[in-house]
Structures are given as structure tokens and as C-alpha cells.
């Protein structure tokens, strides 16, 4: 489940007060979710250092790594510099903090080197990995961090296409209508699958163009193995960006149903305030138990999509349970 930044910080603040902060956190979420803002709050909480950006902090207890090479990769030399910094002695009561922005840009050798730090961190260390694409990281890295998925605060939700906005309205109308049917659920499933297909085509085109530009620029000056690796890199990035986009859209549907549940419980704090009227119609058209069941069906779908199951089949089954 994704959190708003205030919710996430509240949990971490309590962990700090009880002296049970983990040594490594993976802060994930789309643009505008507040990953860096949460990192800054943790830095202020542990070390009483305040800034509007991590890059502005000039203190030996805070070390920032971000993509710096021409290809926007995080190199092994940067990881080694971080390790050296973390092993230096610090002032009493201070936490040594390593922040890795865009952690999905770690090179393979950098990830393997960073694993050692995650497995055996120096005492008094806090590692914060920030990324919108956690799927790009090694499973062994993700498993050694506590994940804190963030969702954008009100007014800063991911920007969705008008086609998806129309889909969201159709989904809300289906749930609010007592004449729900299997055929309407299947239409929604196929509409959603079509939106995802268009999104993937857009992502693929963008990465194909970027690869073509690299091949044209470096074909005469770079060995074939490097170019082949770049092809694999862009193929992997296309898949990762697609998964992130798909997850973001499904999270939006879940958040919308969450708004309906909150309205049923008497709360007015909504993720999609602009669609409050739609959420209210859903809240009135379904009982809390029925709405919870449909929310759970979409959560199950999210889990199934993280496996090797075929997207279209999983979406059809999930939508039949959620919208029929």
C-alpha cells in the first residue's frame, strides 16, 4: 500500500522515537510523490540538518550520490566513495546518511558493490535509496531495504491521459450503477488493456529513438559489445517504464476506490478531490463490504501483474471480480 508523505513520515518518526529505525529504506513513488522531501525530513529528524534539497546539505555526515556520467549511470567509483565516507568517524549523536537519488541508475557492478554495504553497514548508518522504478534494482537490494512506497499528495497526482481519465469515469459509473454486468466489466478490462498497449507503444518509441541516436553517434568509435549492451539496456528500460506506468494507473484506480471507502466512513481527505462527485456516487451505490471486496480484487490483480502472468488475461479476471 502506498502512503502520502505525511503518513510515511509519521511511521518513521515513531520508529525513530522507539529506537528501531532500519539501516536502509527504499523510498519509491512517481514524480511529485515526495521521495526527496521524505529523505530531507529523515535527515532533519536524525541529524537536525535542514535544507530544501539534499544537494544543498554541506555536512560530512550526509553523502549524496546521483547519476553524473554522460549516460546518467551511477558508477562503482561513486559507491566506493560512499563506503569510504560511511566508515569515517562522526560526531557523537550524529547518524551517517547515504542518499542515492535515482537508484535505478546504478550500474550492475555498482549494485554488486553496494550489496556489501547493505549487508554489513557501519554502525550508526542510514541508507536512503530513492527511485521511481524499483523494478530496475536487483532483488537482493530490494530485499535488504524496508520499502516505503509513496503516492502523490492532493493536487500532485501523476498526469494521466484524457483516455485514462475517461476510463476512470466509466469505471466509477459501472460501480455506481446497479445494472453492473459481466459484459460491462469485460469492456472496462479491454479498454484498460488498450490504454496500456498505447502507453507501451509510446514508451517503446521514445527508447527506440534514444537508442538509435546513440548508435548513430557511437557506432564508429565504440566496440560492438558496448552497443549490444545499450540495446539490452533500452529494452530493459522500456519494460521497467511500462511496469511503472501500469502500476501507477492501477494505483490510481485503487486510490479512487479508497476515496469512496473514506467517504463511507465519514472522512473528507481524498486522493482525487477533483473526482469527489464520482467517488460519492460509488460510495452510495455499494455497501462498505461490497466495496471492500472489489478493492481487494484489484489489490489481488496488482499482485498477479507482478508475476509472469499475461497482462490481458490477469486484467480480465481481476476486472470481472472488481466491476461485474
* Per-residue tens of pLDDT for the chain, all 324 residues: 678 888 899 999 999 999 999 999 999 987 778 999 999 999 999 999 999 999 899 899 999 998 875 556 788 889 999 999 998 888 888 999 999 998 988 888 888 889 988 988 889 999 999 998 787 788 899 999 999 988 765 544 556 778 888 898 888 888 888 888 899 999 999 999 999 999 999 989 988 888 888 788 777 766 677 778 778 878 877 887 787 788 778 888 888 888 888 888 888 777 777 778 888 888 888 889 999 999 999 988 987 887 778 899 999 999 999 998
Distances (CA, A) of 78 to 53, 177, 208: 19, 56, 29
Asked if residue 138 belongs to a domain, the reply is yes
Question: How high is the pLDDT of residue 155?
Answer: 45
**146-149: strand order across its sheet:** 62-65, 96-100, 125-131, 24-28, 146-149
Residue 156 falls within a domain, yes or no?
Answer: no
* d(C-alpha 135, C-alpha 130), whole Å: 12
pTM above 0.95, yes or no: no
3-state secondary structure of 211: helix
The residue segments making up the domain with residue 311 are 162-323
Is residue 168 in some structural domain? yes
Q: Is residue 155 part of a domain?
A: no
Do 171 and 310 have their domain in common?
yes
Count of domains forming the chain: 2
Q: Would you state the pLDDT for residue 99?
A: 97
Contact of 102 with 131, CB cutoff 8 Å: yes
Tell me, yes or no, whether 88 and 188 share the same domain: no
Q: Is residue 157 part of a domain?
A: no
The reply to whether 244 and 293 lie within a common domain is: yes
Domain stops at, among 149, 184, 212: 149
Amino acid at each position: 500500500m502506498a502512503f502520502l508523505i505525511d503518513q510515511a513520515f509519521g511511521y518513521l518518526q515513531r520508529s525513530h522515537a522507539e529506537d528501531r529505525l532500519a539501516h536502509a529504506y527504499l523510498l519509491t513513488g512517481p514524480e511529485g510523490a515526495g521521495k526527496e522531501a521524505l529523505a530531507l525530513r529523515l535527515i532533519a529528524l536524525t541529524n537536525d540538518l535542514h535544507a530544501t534539497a539534499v544537494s544543498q546539505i554541506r555536512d560530512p555526515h550526509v553523502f549524496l550520490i546521483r547519476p553524473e556520467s554522460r549516460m546518467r549511470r551511477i558508477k562503482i567509483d561513486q559507491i566506493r566513495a560512499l563506503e569510504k565516507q560511511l566508515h569515517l568517524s562522526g560526531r557523537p549523536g550524529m547518524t551517517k546518511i547515504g542518499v542515492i537519488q535515482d537508484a535505478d541508475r546504478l550500474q550492475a557492478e555498482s549494485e554488486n558493490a553496494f550489496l556489501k554495504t547493505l549487508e554489513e553497514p557501519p554502525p550508526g548508518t542510514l541508507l536512503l535509496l530513492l527511485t521511481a522504478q524499483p523494478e530496475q534494482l536487483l532483488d537482493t537490494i530490494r530485499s535488504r531495504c524496508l520499502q516505503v512506497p509513496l503516492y502523490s499528495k492532493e493536487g500532485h497526482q501523476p498526469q494521466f491521459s484524457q483516455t485514462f481519465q475517461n476510463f476512470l469515469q466509466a469505471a466509477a459509473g459501472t460501480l455506481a450503477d446497479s445494472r453492473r454486468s459481466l459484459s460491462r466489466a469485460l469492456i472496462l478490462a479491454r479498454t484498460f488493456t488498450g490504454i496500456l498497449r498505447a502507453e507501451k507503444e509510446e514508451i517503446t518509441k521514445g527508447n527506440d529513438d534514444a537508442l538509435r541516436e546513440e548508435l548513430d553517434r557511437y557506432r564508429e568509435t565504440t566496440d560492438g559489445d558496448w552497443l549490444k549492451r545499450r540495446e539490452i539496456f533500452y529494452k530493459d528500460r522500456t519494460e521497467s517504464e511500462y511496469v511503472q506506468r501500469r502500476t501507477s494507473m492501477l494505483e490510481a484506480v485503487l486510490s479512487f476506490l479508497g476515496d469512496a471507502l473514506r467517504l463511507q466512513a465519514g472522512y473528507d481527505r481524498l486522493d482525487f478531490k477533483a473526482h469527489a462527485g464520482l467517488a460519492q456516487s460509488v460510495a452510495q451505490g455499494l455497501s462498505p463490504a461490497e466495496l471492500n471486496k472489489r478493492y481487494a480484487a484489484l489489490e489481488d490483480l496488482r499482485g498477479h501483474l507482478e508475476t509472469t502472468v499475461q497482462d490481458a488475461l490477469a486484467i480480465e479476471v481481476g476486472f470481472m471480480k472488481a466491476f461485474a
